[in-house]
Structure 1
């Protein structure tokens, strides 16, 4: 970060009349893109019984639609971002959203399991590219003092999808069928392409065609630190989130999973709103607080399991959401700062780490659940969160710098 940016980051984040107005139509279009992405990723989890029956396969086989989506994102994020770095950003982002429209439309009408899985993999491919594009785009179209706030706005759609979109989509699927819901997501994606064509400012790709090798990006001060926090934090979160129904069953709340998830989601909305206000000045304290809050939530959840106290699960859910809601924005901002001119490659590395965490959590959490029971899940997550916190604290100079060290990230 340059000296001028460092001085800017040390100013109060109160509205400055000298700053340009935030490009709200463009940022809200990006936020809607995040909403479509997360809805496409997670909707199968809420419609598995109907989806599996319609496709003539078991629920475990239908559940691989989520796994294939994650695999597609892992496979695409780094190579697609590197290969398209010189291309103009606007048409590339529009093409990615159009990819969601096509993939969801195929999923809605597919008569066979293999075709549905192919569509899900294709959706994951465009998701890997879209997530790597969104953060850099949002930061590039605002003043340096507004980058964190712009990132938070662009990321709000993903939190809205998790908090209210997925429950609403599951309810809608129960009323009119899962195929109609996927078809509706396709229509939203088509409308979004038009919105983006109208609202997004033009943004060129890299002016130099020389690609920064991934190994060089990994060696940049701070990048590996942020990726380490991402991997441990996301793995911990998803060990709990993926198997939340199994965690709630011993508490007599197996019929209340949707309510607990709603509490997490609404609390996450509060978190990301607060993150948007404070991130430009308090990135490091907010990241530390995020790790601590989710760790506290795991302890409360573990205590609830030991005492079979269902009410504590709601308290854990509220604390959990407060810690998790702003995490994606914090980590993407940190890796963008650390990556500098190679920020798009750094973002693709973060997207890869995030999806690896999701995939690994499904495997690790399943093994823990089968061999040690649900009480092992929060304690295992706590160990990972302690590691994430330790890496964050150790990244004071690079990765998560504080105060005057912000420029070294």
Structure 2
């Protein structure tokens, strides 16, 4: 006997549906804590990059040449390189909140000394000290942001925590430079010290406690490097950051042959604003599309380098603005992508892996300054984008090859 068909209205009736388990709403992101960490990244990048905007006044006040004053940026990077791995290893068992507060307090002290220093050696010592705490802070931020959210929220939490660094580059440094022109470079560093003091209070109230490595021995660096995927991510970090900074450090030299030497600030602003768009997109997509986004970052930055190379060959400056927008889209979310990738690959050894990534990142900045300068002196500005293209081809190949470990597909 055939079963009679039920009307569609009855098929949709709640009484005829098998009830499933209630779906718990996804927890909200801890915005106050993540924004406090983002502000920590803002302070870090502002402290690092601000001398570039105030170099003439800084060098005149300290009685040294601009090249000597420029070493304040180099010493900061050297401090970060020197500190990231050993400080992360030594402090691994300490509570994360206490350690992060110490790092931000270090910025307050270093910037205060920079603002008040009457001598060049003392200023350089303060800059090196700022680099030391920066190396520690960057190694802490990623693990902290991931440690206070659910696994499904880790990518978005990282994106929020890293937004401050992009805001610093796109808006903070130009604004700080403008403020320094109105009030003096020392007042600007003093303001950064005040912000750091206020941030310690904010973090004290907003950050949840996060323990260190309770009862676990520190994983040796060599062993971390042997974890599948870690070396892959570090290789991509080194080549990608080196390519970006060969272009970014000498962007004024790239624009001069195109008659745009007076438009450097506009080009940097386009890069910065485009980077903000990239950060927002990364935060929305990273938890499911990390591999695709990393490949896209390499491709976009390569396209920007290619357009700049073509503009230099054709001696036309108009395409550079489009290249700057593409450049920012490729670079803006890179830090979040790479830190997430190395955290996923390293697992419990994440703190050491993050310190290795911070070291690779700062090495890329330091080597780019030297290598880019040599290329500029011996081969001219046209050599810079082509060198960046070679490095990005390597980064792209390693990323694509990291399908099993490092940059696995999540789609």
TM-score, shorter chain, exceeding 0.5: yes
CA distance in 2, matches of 1:367, 1:261: 23
Q: Is 1:220 matched with 2:224?
A: no
The correspondence for 2:302, drawn from 295, 309, 320, is 295
Aligned to 1:7: none
- Deviation string 1:92-148 (CA, Å, 9 cap, x unpaired) is 000000000000000000000000000000000000000000000000000000000
Secondary structure of 1:211's aligned partner: coil
Q: Is 1:112 matched with 2:87?
A: no
- Deviation string 1:287-341 (CA, Å, 9 cap, x unpaired) is 0000000000000001111111111110110000000000000000000001100
Aligned to 1:99: 106
C-alpha contact (below 8 Å) 1:19/1:143 kept by paired residues: no
- Deviation string 1:181-227 (CA, Å, 9 cap, x unpaired) is 00000000000000000000000001124110000000000000000
Secondary structure of 2:261's aligned partner: coil
Q: RMSD between aligned alpha carbons?
A: 0.8
Aligned to 2:94: 87
C-alpha contact (below 8 Å) 2:290/2:410 kept by paired residues: no
Aligned to 2:45: 38
C-alpha contact (below 8 Å) 1:245/1:254 kept by paired residues: yes
Secondary structure of 1:86's aligned partner: coil
CA distance in 2, matches of 1:305, 1:171: 30
Query: Unaligned regions of 5+ residues in structure 2, if any?
Result: 1-22
- Point out the more displaced range, 118-127 or 202-211: 202-211
The correspondence for 1:246, drawn from 240, 253, 256, is 253
Aligned to 1:329: 336
Aligned to 1:182: 189
CA distance in 2, matches of 1:60, 1:366: 13
CA distance in 1, matches of 2:311, 2:196: 41
Query: Unaligned regions of 5+ residues in structure 1, if any?
Result: 1-15, 405-409
Aligned to 1:350: 357
Aligned to 1:407: none
Q: Report the TM-score, using the length of structure 2 for normalisation.
A: 0.94
Secondary structure of 1:201's aligned partner: coil
Q: Is 1:48 matched with 2:55?
A: yes
Aligned to 1:75: 82
CA distance in 2, matches of 1:310, 1:395: 37
Give the ranges of 4+ consecutive aligned residues of structure 1 lying more than 2 Å apart after TM superposition.
none
CA distance in 2, matches of 1:118, 1:242: 23
Aligned to 2:130: 123
The correspondence for 1:143, drawn from 145, 150, 164, is 150
**Matches for 1:1-20 after TM superposition, within 5 Å:** 18-20=25-27
CA distance in 2, matches of 1:239, 1:292: 17
Larger radius of gyration: 2
